[in-house]
Structure 1
Amino acid sequence: TCHGINELYASGPLQDMTFSVSEGTIGIHVIYQFTIEPPAVSLRLSGEKDGVIEIASTSGYLYLNGSLDRENKAIHRLQVEALNVTGQKEKGPYSITINVQDINDNPPKFEKSKYFGVVWQNSRPGKPFLYVNATDRDDPTTPNAQLFYNILHHFPDPYKQMLFQIDNVTGAISTTERGSHLLNPQTQVMFTLVVTVKDLAGMSENALTSNTDVEITVKENLWKAPPKVSIKENSTEPHPVSITQVHWNEPGAKYDLLQKERLPRFPFTIDQNGTIYVTEPLDREEKELYSFFATAKDEGGEELDRPLPIFVQVEDINDNPPVCQNALTIFEVQENEGLGSNIGTLRATDMDQENTLNSRLQFRIVDQNPKIPLDNLFIIQQEAGTFQLSRSSLNKRVVSNYFVRVEVTDKVFTTLCDVKINVIDINDQIPIFEKSDYGILIILEDTPVGEVILEIQATDADEPFTGSSQIIYQIEEGDQNKNFIIETDTKTNRGFVKINKVLDFEMSSTYNLTVKATNPEPLVQGVQYNSSSTAYFGVVVVDVNEVPVFSQNIYIGNIFEDVPVGTLVMTVTANDPEGDQIRYSLKSNNRNWLRIDTFSGEIYTAAPLDREVEHEYKVEVTATEENTKSQSSTAVFMLYIKDVNDNPPRLAKGNHLFFCHPLHGGVRAEIQATDDDEQLYSPEFTFSLGGGENIKSDWEISRIDGTHAYLSPKHTNLEEKQYSIPLIINDNGKPPLEGNLDLQGTCSDEGRCFIEVENHPGMPSTGMAVGILLGVLIFIGRCYFLET
């Protein structure tokens, strides 16, 4: 396909041809000149000329005598024949096709001069409620017919911000986020939008435009959450029962319920009128509040607006009896308790709603057994359920326990609870130790925590297995740090002295301990603990040799890789509990980069460091006692080696480039630079050529990005041989380093164009070469037309 350009045109022999010509040309416009070959002397044109397309019969000029209109006809099909002097056909007919190219000569037009729409208050922002549409007669495959919609004016504009928006491509009009919140028919019921449409996708000042008015009516939103619904539990009405209703703004919506939480059963449903039903009786004790959502969807299943929250409160009725907390409640009371003393509280519950009359409980004693020395020996507080003595008449030797039955009622239901009251002996006897002095105990300082070192025993003459006879042992003196603890066997009242904390000979080597035996039940008036309830024993702690202790388990150091040998890196310290002299040494010092001062613990560099070899260097530091029974401990030293710019840039994939000979224009090879130093940010390399002017006259280098560049010949007359091309690469370190490399460029006729990777010993080089396409020769043919 060739195009007529300015005053130029092309010529050639008769053959089938296709031309592209812009519509709307003015005057005479030459398309092409056909050359006439004898014996032909003239040409004849036929077909869809439409009075505009002509041919000069003797000169062979194919031309336009007027304008073509693509919108009327996009393709013209013609035939041309060569005639001799007698008018007889010598050649042809040949097919001539003229494609009419579009120009932007048609403005877009809206389908309606005015649009009307309805939007509902609180409608979902971004959901279209109206579409405007315009068409353009220009070629739809070109920008001439690509339309761009925009809201030009907004009347009125009470909030000084757009309440509506339009999709620039589809013409869909919807509310903005602010419009969804601010639109209110009580404030403003009518709006007028001036909508404009532009062709050329709205990207040019020369775009053609059209306008239309859009009149919008705001209606009150009917899609509102209903008030909370209250339903009495265990309803006996026939189900389902209507409880509330939701309404979408327009008919035809499909309603559904959406559960907010996963329930074993969901006792609600909704019909297509938006009426919500409860499908079965509810139980407040099972669930007190139901929360779910009602949704409205269009025919395609898309939600029309946000789901509405629905709340259903289940109201309580008195449908649960009181429940005794225990099948048998047991109280204890001392035989010397006085009138009105509290004995205990009977616990009962009711599953009905708390703090309502439905769960209010009242207590009443209905039976006491035995009735000795009299009936009604106990009273109970009606509202609290607390037992009290009505007489000071208890005697364990006469009656050791009582059984009482209590009626618990919530005014509808009644439950009987059983109570047992044990009369216990008064605590009038003190514990007495079997001996007052248990002597001196000798134990090693590394005795494990929890080990029993002594057993002690005291006895009590009060009633067995009661709070009056149970014994508690306490260390009253000599153990401020709580290094010892005493546990009691509740059946035998035997005490077991145990190690409670790790002992330390160096902190304390002797303990003189005083132990007291007491009861959990208070002694009766007039009775007191005395020396019979006190015992003594001593503890001597024997020293053992302990390992040295480092000040910390892990030491961390940071250092630059270029520090001089002998630089102090870190000082570690360890102490021996016995005060012995300590010697330091290093283990796992695999590269021998460090040394340690045996006496001070100072760690120095012993050889040059190299972050590129290892950037996290880990060694173990050992502290050893200097005595006949030497012991040692170990800590870890982690040295993080920080980078310095000590590695010049290099090529990432070898330095041998291949070009196909003979060279063609545009051929080039991509090279990549890298650097062994740490790259905290994106690497930035600069590329340049070394050598003399002869190198720079034959080759040039151009940057692609921070790591890549192109090497390309400046001309195509290079010889078929190998070239050595000096390349300079600088990194962006501080200070920067320079890499001087020697590229080997080979011009070869073997047809292989690749960058060769580095060869590894012991492997075939052909198995390690990576083919990379260097250049693609692009031939571009252009056809120019002469125009006269």
Structure 2
Amino acid sequence: MCGDSRHPSAAFLHSFLSLSQALCQNLGDLHVTGPLKDMNFSVPEGGGVRVIYQFTSEPPAVSFRATGEKDGIIDIVPKTGVLYLSGSLDWETKTVHRLQVESLDEKGNVVKGPYAVTIHVEDINDNPPEFDQIKYTGVVRQNSRPGKPFMHVHATDRDDPTTPHAQLTYSILHHFPNPYTEMLFQINNVTGAISPSVTGSYYLDPQKQDTFTLVVTVKDMAGMTMNAFTSSADVIITVKESLWKAPPTIRIQENSTQIYPVNISQVHSNEPDVIYDLFEKEKLPRLPFSIDQNGVIYVTDPLDREEKDTYSFFVVTKDNKGELVDKPLHIHVIVEDINDNPPVCQQALTVIEVQENEDEGSNIGTLLATDMDEEGTLNSRLQFKIGSQVPAVPASNLFFIQQETGILQLTSRSLNRRIASNYSLKVLVTDAVFQTICDVQIYVIDINDQIPIFEKSDYHNVTVAESLPVGTVILEIQATDGDEPATGSSYIIYQVKEGDPNNTFIIETDSVTNRGFVKINKALDFEAASVYNLVISATNPEPLVPGVQYNSSSLTLFKVFVTNVDEPPVFHKTVYKAEVSEDIPVNTLVMTVEAYDPEGDTVRYSLEGDVRKWLRVNSATGQVYTASTLDREQQGTYTVEVAASELTQKSKTTLILHLRDVNDNPPLLAMDYPPFFCHPLRGGERAFIQAADADEQWYYPTFTFSLADDMNARNNWEISKINATHAYLSPKHANFEEKVYNVPVIINDNGKPPLERKVNLKVNICKCSSEKSCFIEVQRDHSWPSTGQAIGILTGVLLIIGTSLLLG
């Protein structure tokens, strides 16, 4: 068609002239042709004039005709069969165009067809997303839960929703004002839901800032490409004060007679349609509170302040899925006291003792009472008053009680045990509402006007051995007192007044008989004190009345003679410890042990248990020296006993010698069997060698392996390190004979100073019964191994090979 004007009519040329240049340009690259048949095409929208396809004609057909949904854009060149677009398709206007194409002969009769030609319009991203509002407004409450949406923005895109062209992503571009490093709001990039961020939930406060403007953007292409279209909208957010507030402390009067439950407060959530619930802060047998679904809090039962004076619990809100909506609110309830408890006597009977010679005004005791009502209030204020006194002799008002304190006093110096030995008082104890009677019994006791008198003024002496155990009774003594028995006036206290500055003795009293028992309180020591001249006194815990004094009748003498017992020597220490280096010279002083004899006898020293004969001791001074060379590798901690002896007694102490290691042992090979290689060698074989050292390894042993400076060895073998204790020995070539090779290996222990050892490592090159064992031992003293030797060799070789395989 293009460039050829021999056949087209003038009418065709006129109608097609506007398209010829574009069609010729496209037809130059057109390679998709074919016979007339049903066809489906997918064509991207836009793009202007384009060729879609060229149908080929078959005689007698000479032209083509297209009908159907051409919409003035789609047509076919009759003579050439070129199906083309004269303009741009638009997916948003129409997604599918359905046509019928048929071929015609020269007379215009249908030769083939009509055939269905369907053109599917492919969407391209040619529409930006659009918000459904130019400006959005929303309200958020202070302290709203982070992530809980309070509003949404919404945008649409006219492009194909099944493609990324219409997949929208939301984000916040700007935040005015933005007083914090983090935004106070966040947006769900898929749904457009706006909610407070964690920072916003904490900091939003209408008192500081009540209005914010967000610039929200929406991008198509799921926001994954720089070529995505973007639109924006303003979001005006008003911050309002939180409805969700804990009420002030709630005060409830105890034992109220109201009809329960009683409304005591109400809370309001920031969110609608929440479920209110109570959560206990402390586990109680019962929580006497409830809440309804309007947030009204009730007390369900009368409260008793004496049972519990405060309650603390939380109000929570949940959604229909059971998830928390608001932060829990702390509810604090104080139970207010009423005067509903009478005074209580602390004791069923208060007993008081008073001496018959007490002065008027003396405090003789205190009546104690309590009230369970709230302390420090009028409800628990107690007042005291004496209701009666029995007997009422020699007067009816011998006693007075302080109204506010309950302290009892004497009104006169009128008590006489011969007139009345005891009195019973009824004391009225009252608070503002109640009255209680408390009983008080007052005993008039004898005054201490008699002193204790010893039965003997001198108990002479007693002789005791210095080895007598502490707690032993060495003497019993007795004094008597004429005052009333079983009182502080007649009970006797014995004390050593003189002759015992170190409290070597103690005296205990039998509370019934007043008999005294002299006991040893501290260990006796003949060498420190051989004689004690004791002066013992007898006194009462109750003071004597004026005019009466203790005298010589309340004193007695007693002498104690201590006899000597031969005691063994005493070491200054129970254990002697020293640390020395194992390489110190013989005759080096390592320590000195010391002992003394309590009797002053000469002490001689000796060693026991020195099985290695490493030490010797100077028998006179206790100085311990090395007697031979020490060796930590034989024994790192050496323990012996040192004996201290006098004429008849002997003591022992333990001497512990810790030996510090020095590097005095060169390394050695730690292998049960020599390495071997199967003949003939194939290349790449290796066997491992291992070193050990008897010296102490503080962290881990480190050895260096190398070949001796021997040309033959270096030409045939090489050593490569595996780790700190192992290395590989490898043949450098495969030209080895069947025999035992001596490989000179040098091992260095890297100590301070380092030590090394040269060893001739015997390596077998042998025929193997398999890839795992030597068939026989090669060149072993020019003789065959015995059966037992062969089995041992085979077992050892198998062990070496197995270990090599594991390390390799």
TM-score w.r.t. the length of structure 2 is 0.65
Query: What is residue 659 of structure 2 aligned with on the other side?
Result: 641
Secondary structure at the aligned position of 2:751 is classed as coil
Q: Which of 618, 624, 649 is matched with 1:630 structurally?
A: 649
Letter in 2 for 1:737: L
Give the distance between the partners of 2:315 and 2:743, measured in 1 at CA.
77
CA contact (8 A) 1:380 1:388 kept: yes
Give the distance between the partners of 2:431 and 2:595, measured in 1 at CA.
74
1:767–1:228 distance in 2 versus 1, CA, 3 Å: farther
Q: Which of 488, 506, 511 is matched with 2:527 structurally?
A: 506
Give the distance between the partners of 1:716 and 1:126, measured in 2 at CA.
75
Q: Which of 417, 424, 427 is matched with 1:406 structurally?
A: 427
How do residues 549-560 of structure 1 correspond to structure 2 at under 5 angstroms? 549-560=570-581
Query: What is the Cα deviation at residue 768 of structure 1?
Result: 6.7
1:655–1:738 distance in 2 versus 1, CA, 3 Å: farther
Query: What is residue 331 of structure 1 aligned with on the other side?
Result: 352
Query: What is the Cα deviation at residue 551 of structure 1?
Result: 0.8
1:508–1:766 distance in 2 versus 1, CA, 3 Å: same
Give the distance between the partners of 2:637 and 2:682, measured in 1 at CA.
51
Higher helix share: 2
CA contact (8 A) 1:566 1:605 kept: yes
1:273–1:503 distance in 2 versus 1, CA, 3 Å: farther
Give the distance between the partners of 2:226 and 2:754, measured in 1 at CA.
57
Letter in 1 for 2:448: N
Query: What is residue 564 of structure 1 aligned with on the other side?
Result: 585
Query: What is the Cα deviation at residue 406 of structure 1?
Result: 1.0
Query: What is the Cα deviation at residue 385 of structure 1?
Result: 0.6
Structure 1 residue 771 corresponds to structure 2 residue 802: yes
Letter in 1 for 2:438: C
1:193–1:219 distance in 2 versus 1, CA, 3 Å: farther
Provide, for residues 92-135 of structure 1, a one-character-per-residue CA deviation record: whole Å limited to 9, x for no partner.
xxxxxxxxxxxxxxxxxx9x9xx9999998899999999xxxxx
Query: What is residue 26 of structure 1 aligned with on the other side?
Result: none
Query: What is the Cα deviation at residue 422 of structure 1?
Result: 0.7
Query: What is residue 784 of structure 1 aligned with on the other side?
Result: none
Give the distance between the partners of 2:244 and 2:669, measured in 1 at CA.
69
1:538–1:644 distance in 2 versus 1, CA, 3 Å: same
CA contact (8 A) 1:334 1:426 kept: yes
Give the distance between the partners of 1:127 and 1:210, measured in 2 at CA.
29
CA RMSD of aligned residues (A): 5.4
Structure 1 residue 371 corresponds to structure 2 residue 410: no
Give the distance between the partners of 2:139 and 2:628, measured in 1 at CA.
84
**Number of equivalences:** 639
Query: What is residue 474 of structure 2 aligned with on the other side?
Result: 453
Provide, for residues 670-712 of structure 1, a one-character-per-residue CA deviation record: whole Å limited to 9, x for no partner.
6665544333335444443445455445554444554555555
CA contact (8 A) 1:585 1:598 kept: yes
Q: Which runs of 5+ in 1 are unaligned?
A: 1-109, 131-149, 167-172, 198-206, 778-788
TM-score w.r.t. the length of structure 1 is 0.66
Structure 1 residue 517 corresponds to structure 2 residue 538: yes
1:395–1:703 distance in 2 versus 1, CA, 3 Å: same
How do residues 37-186 of structure 1 correspond to structure 2 at under 5 angstroms? none
Q: Which of 749, 764, 769 is matched with 1:731 structurally?
A: 749
Stretch moving more, 742-751 or 506-515: 742-751
Give the distance between the partners of 1:222 and 1:746, measured in 2 at CA.
94
Query: What is residue 156 of structure 2 aligned with on the other side?
Result: none
Letter in 1 for 2:772: R
Structure 1 residue 750 corresponds to structure 2 residue 770: yes
Give the distance between the partners of 1:420 and 1:643, measured in 2 at CA.
83
1:544–1:719 distance in 2 versus 1, CA, 3 Å: same
Query: What is the Cα deviation at residue 404 of structure 1?
Result: 0.6
1:674–1:766 distance in 2 versus 1, CA, 3 Å: closer
Q: Which runs of 5+ in 2 are unaligned?
A: 1-128, 152-170, 188-193, 220-224, 775-789
Give the distance between the partners of 2:582 and 2:565, measured in 1 at CA.
45
Letter in 2 for 1:638: I
Letter in 2 for 1:751: E
1:240–1:504 distance in 2 versus 1, CA, 3 Å: farther
Give the distance between the partners of 1:526 and 1:481, measured in 2 at CA.
34
Query: What is residue 76 of structure 1 aligned with on the other side?
Result: none
Give the distance between the partners of 2:278 and 2:733, measured in 1 at CA.
77
How do residues 221-236 of structure 1 correspond to structure 2 at under 5 angstroms? 228-236=249-257
Secondary structure at the aligned position of 2:438 is classed as strand
Query: What is residue 421 of structure 1 aligned with on the other side?
Result: 442
Name the % identity. 60
How do residues 375-386 of structure 1 correspond to structure 2 at under 5 angstroms? 375-386=396-407
Query: What is the Cα deviation at residue 293 of structure 1?
Result: 5.8
CA contact (8 A) 1:667 1:774 kept: no
Stretch moving more, 278-287 or 266-275: 266-275
How do residues 100-499 of structure 1 correspond to structure 2 at under 5 angstroms? 228-237=249-258, 263-265=284-286, 280-291=301-312, 311-499=332-520
Query: What is the Cα deviation at residue 559 of structure 1?
Result: 1.3
Give the distance between the partners of 1:127 and 1:661, measured in 2 at CA.
80
Structure 1 residue 604 corresponds to structure 2 residue 625: yes
Give the distance between the partners of 1:232 and 1:260, measured in 2 at CA.
22
Give the distance between the partners of 2:682 and 2:138, measured in 1 at CA.
65
1:767–1:605 distance in 2 versus 1, CA, 3 Å: farther
CA contact (8 A) 1:700 1:714 kept: yes
Stretch moving more, 430-439 or 605-614: 605-614
Give the distance between the partners of 1:569 and 1:253, measured in 2 at CA.
85
Give the distance between the partners of 1:666 and 1:347, measured in 2 at CA.
102
Secondary structure at the aligned position of 2:802 is classed as coil
1:519–1:241 distance in 2 versus 1, CA, 3 Å: same
CA contact (8 A) 2:773 2:798 kept: no
CA contact (8 A) 1:724 1:745 kept: no
Letter in 2 for 1:317: I
Give the distance between the partners of 2:147 and 2:721, measured in 1 at CA.
46
1:210–1:688 distance in 2 versus 1, CA, 3 Å: farther
Query: What is the Cα deviation at residue 402 of structure 1?
Result: 0.5
Provide, for residues 184-218 of structure 1, a one-character-per-residue CA deviation record: whole Å limited to 9, x for no partner.
676577698999x9xxxxxxxxx999999999989
Query: What is the Cα deviation at residue 451 of structure 1?
Result: 1.5
Give the distance between the partners of 2:208 and 2:419, measured in 1 at CA.
90
Structure 1 residue 579 corresponds to structure 2 residue 600: yes
Give the distance between the partners of 1:507 and 1:342, measured in 2 at CA.
51
Provide, for residues 152-183 of structure 1, a one-character-per-residue CA deviation record: whole Å limited to 9, x for no partner.
999987566899999xxxxxx99999898767
Provide, for residues 5-50 of structure 1, a one-character-per-residue CA deviation record: whole Å limited to 9, x for no partner.
xxxxxxxxxxxxxxxxxxxxxxxxxxxxxxxxxxxxxxxxxxxxxx
Secondary structure at the aligned position of 1:364 is classed as strand
Give the distance between the partners of 1:328 and 1:403, measured in 2 at CA.
10
Query: What is the Cα deviation at residue 233 of structure 1?
Result: 3.9
Letter in 2 for 1:433: F
Secondary structure at the aligned position of 1:774 is classed as helix
Give the distance between the partners of 1:660 and 1:304, measured in 2 at CA.
79
Provide, for residues 508-551 of structure 1, a one-character-per-residue CA deviation record: whole Å limited to 9, x for no partner.
11111112222222222222222212211111111111222111
Give the distance between the partners of 2:433 and 2:320, measured in 1 at CA.
54
Give the distance between the partners of 1:129 and 1:750, measured in 2 at CA.
82
CA contact (8 A) 1:595 1:604 kept: yes
Give the distance between the partners of 2:301 and 2:418, measured in 1 at CA.
61
Give the distance between the partners of 1:695 and 1:211, measured in 2 at CA.
78
CA contact (8 A) 1:657 1:743 kept: yes
Stretch moving more, 295-304 or 644-653: 295-304
Query: What is residue 38 of structure 1 aligned with on the other side?
Result: none
Letter in 2 for 1:416: I
1:116–1:561 distance in 2 versus 1, CA, 3 Å: farther
CA contact (8 A) 2:718 2:731 kept: yes
Higher relative contact order (CA 8 A, sep 6+): 1
How do residues 638-677 of structure 1 correspond to structure 2 at under 5 angstroms? 638-650=656-668, 656-657=674-675, 674-677=692-695
CA contact (8 A) 1:254 1:296 kept: yes
Structure with higher Rg: it is 2
Structure 1 residue 678 corresponds to structure 2 residue 700: no
1:745–1:327 distance in 2 versus 1, CA, 3 Å: farther
CA contact (8 A) 1:667 1:776 kept: no
